[in-house]
Structure 1
């Protein structure tokens, strides 16, 4: 009796279809897990889907998002653990009030921007602060920091920028850098009426720069101590502080030049080896600018003819200035994107290019970001470009953003929207392999079947 023949071809075809569907599902999962374009979330105001709390918006945001905060008082303590920009409608009218409870804002993620905010009323003891930073590459711009224990506290934090802020009436320091904080920049700030020093640099903080700031009526101007080496202070005015304009102890190779020291209660103190001039220009001293004080400029070159002695050690300003240093307001640079154009559709490799300028100096670098990626430094400054392969990201809409930096401040961000439309690869290698294996399997099964 002959055995009944079985047709295995339908089984093989079903098996093939199942595997192909599975492959597509896996591919789709990979696509949706890739970079997405940033979005804007709103807090306060009258929008239908606006959040009532800043922390709620932070919790729902993803890296690269912007949170816009409308005018109002927000009684909360927030923790920022993502790459976000939090921008207020105006710094006088957007107030984050910590209710005298711990730190008002704590930043634990890199690449956070805080702009146009008032941050006030932290807890009343260490380590509470208006803003506490434990990360890098953050920007605090155009903010008011007041009525806190410390205004801004940075611990083991580097490459941060604090610019154009008013930091006043804090119980302890206006800004406290401690325990290995490096390469931070503080510029164009008014730091005044703080209970301790305007800026306190403590415990191995190196390569920080402070420029174009007015530091006055504090317990002291700036204190640098405890192995905090190679910091630079220039174009600042220290006025009517209750202690020294600058006090340095157990720290070396700090550079202080082109500053004004006016009617501070104590003379500056330097117990180590630091530089109070740059080899050409020193500082202006209100107690050493007249012949009655022994200050002569006989050759009228703007430099007093003999050095100014710094107290607490055998340190001198070798080129004291006869007149005050003019502390000008830095003008921020400008940047534009020329290619690609706004709302254009792109694919494959593209060149992102543009121009940048600075009316009162020079552009030091230009950076771009695509979607919610990190900032990338491009080639060139006045005319700049960057080649980017759009196949590295999924199809969809993205914002391409650019900013220029002049050594003190970043420009406003310039952005264009692009639509990435890369055609799907028409060589489905994995699918061909599956089809080949399925045909081979059908052939083998069929051959065995005929032998039965």
Structure 2
């Protein structure tokens, strides 16, 4: 894919007229209106347009090329079937207006040799059923790249034939086809399918055939396909990553698939299932996906699927919109007090009745409590335990038994105008406090999360507590805005955190809480008051706010790319 992006970015502003006054053959005919083209090792042949010696048919130009040449096609509709049998670049002027129409028969474009690059065409009207997989583009080669094309009203949009490998399908719109949008035949390996928009096809959006290995399907939008969004049959060691799959009959469907990575997909509003596993599919890693509002089941298994990895206690599993469990514990068995962003009870995958399918091998033991994918998902930094005792009022008032703080490294694209991060830290508080005063002097407990390099102080947990002994779980969070365009690629922004607690007897009326928050913000921004409150008691009965950690904790690294 990187090679393709570099190629597109290599467009020059115009074609410089060379050898003025010399004779120009049809294979290199040019005029002053020639468009920008990628640099090529060979000659450039033109089809359509008004230049002297330009070809009128695409196939005629291809027949006169040599390897490494480029065929550039001006806007227009070309009624022909094209066989690309030279290792060339075939480039249209503009994908909406440069049309190759197959007239309803055979393949529109048939690629038969390695190393071909096709870009910026509308490719329509291939042959249909019952012909065997006629396609807008049929690939019978290796190292072929298809990019920035529209493929519609074909039988199959793009068909990669058996035993082909190392092909790239990127940045295409593939829709309204009679069968599949993209169909990969068996034993086609190392196929990369990315950044495509695939919808309203009459069978499957992206269909991976038998015995495909090391394929990658990532960052595609796949929706409103009649049978499934993305399917695999005997797919192995491949990645289905960061796709949006919605409004299909089934979102993701895999049979007899092994050792694949299905991660970071948004799968929602599909008619039957978000994901379906069947026919002994096993040893797949299925984590960090969001399965939301799929109408019958978010997940379904049948025909004896084996063990699959649905997540771990350190990184979590998947988000399920129909999960009803709670989050009060953490750890491998989710039995240690204190929340961690993971459900305390497993999410059991639905399965076909009367089948001997074990919940233990088909369950998400660590379902996510929030959807995956920042900035929409809170960034959970970890867990800390704290305690407070009356006898320690003379010192800091707070103590900590330590805890786990998870340092996060996030990759940020510098093209974003604004990025919202919500940062969350969980903690458990143990309080042993008793004052022989009336209820009016019961303490108000507040916690704040301090993010270094940002001036705002978030006090979003404020609770009224009575005298006595309490244990309770809380979280503190703060939202901050980052403007990636202010950074350059390669920059890093380190964010540190600290957490503060404040204990204030006598401020137990709801009306006082907002006033107290305002005071805290003012105090935080005035260094003299800030230092006074941090290190000294203002009044014997009034506890200051106390930093839990002696030094700020390095918590988040934003790496700009």
- 1:230, CA displacement in angstroms? 1.5
In the superposition, relative to structure 1, how do residues 97 and 325 fare at CA in structure 2: closer, same or farther (>3 Å)?
farther
In the superposition, relative to structure 1, how do residues 250 and 332 fare at CA in structure 2: closer, same or farther (>3 Å)?
farther
- Name the counterpart of 2:485: none
Match of 1:223 among 218, 228, 231: 231
- 1:201, CA displacement in angstroms? 1.1
Match of 1:294 among 314, 320, 324: 324
- Name the counterpart of 1:31: none
Gap runs ≥5 in structure 2? 1-39, 299-318, 329-337, 352-356, 377-411, 416-487, 492-561
- 1:274, CA displacement in angstroms? 4.0
* Residue correspondences, number: 297
Match of 2:89 among 85, 90, 110: 85
The higher relative CO (CA closer than 8 Å, separation ≥ 6) is in 1
Residue 166 of structure 2 is aligned to residue 159 of structure 1: yes
Residue 329 of structure 2 is aligned to residue 323 of structure 1: no
Would you tell me which structure has more helix in proportion to its own residues? 1
Match of 2:258 among 235, 252, 268: 252
- Name the counterpart of 2:188: 181
Instruction: Tell me the alpha carbon deviations over residues 300-350 of structure 1, each in whole angstroms, 9 at most, x when there is no partner.
Output: 75555555444456534455442254699x9899xxxxxxxxxxxxxxxxx
Residue 135 of structure 2 is aligned to residue 135 of structure 1: no
Would you say the 8 A contact 1:276–1:283 is kept in 2? Answer: no
- Name the counterpart of 2:277: 270
Match of 2:155 among 134, 149, 152: 149
Distance 1:360 1:148 in 2: 44
Distance 1:162 1:74 in 2: 23
Q: Where in structure 2 are the equivalents of 1:185-200 lying within 5 Å?
A: 185-200=192-207
Distance 2:82 2:48 in 1: 16
In the superposition, relative to structure 1, how do residues 239 and 284 fare at CA in structure 2: closer, same or farther (>3 Å)?
same
- Name the counterpart of 1:100: 104
- Name the counterpart of 1:214: 221
Gap runs ≥5 in structure 1? 1-35, 334-357, 362-452
Q: What is the DSSP-based 3-state SS (H/G/I as helix, E as strand, rest coil) of the residue aligned with 2:110?
A: strand
Distance 1:179 1:216 in 2: 24
Q: Where in structure 2 are the equivalents of 1:338-377 lying within 5 Å?
A: 359=489
Q: What is the DSSP-based 3-state SS (H/G/I as helix, E as strand, rest coil) of the residue aligned with 2:59?
A: helix
In the superposition, relative to structure 1, how do residues 265 and 45 fare at CA in structure 2: closer, same or farther (>3 Å)?
same
Distance 1:59 1:168 in 2: 30
- 1:295, CA displacement in angstroms? 4.8
In the superposition, the TM-score normalised over structure 1's length comes to 0.61
Distance 1:49 1:212 in 2: 42
In the superposition, relative to structure 1, how do residues 324 and 217 fare at CA in structure 2: closer, same or farther (>3 Å)?
farther
- Name the counterpart of 1:54: 58
Match of 1:113 among 112, 117, 121: 117
- 1:179, CA displacement in angstroms? 1.6
Would you tell me which structure has more strand in proportion to its own residues? 2
- Name the counterpart of 1:447: none
- 1:253, CA displacement in angstroms? 1.3
In the superposition, relative to structure 1, how do residues 194 and 290 fare at CA in structure 2: closer, same or farther (>3 Å)?
closer
Instruction: Tell me the alpha carbon deviations over residues 28-71 of structure 1, each in whole angstroms, 9 at most, x when there is no partner.
Output: xxxxxxxx950000011001111111100100000000111100
In the superposition, relative to structure 1, how do residues 81 and 240 fare at CA in structure 2: closer, same or farther (>3 Å)?
same
Q: What is the DSSP-based 3-state SS (H/G/I as helix, E as strand, rest coil) of the residue aligned with 1:323?
A: coil
- Name the counterpart of 1:20: none
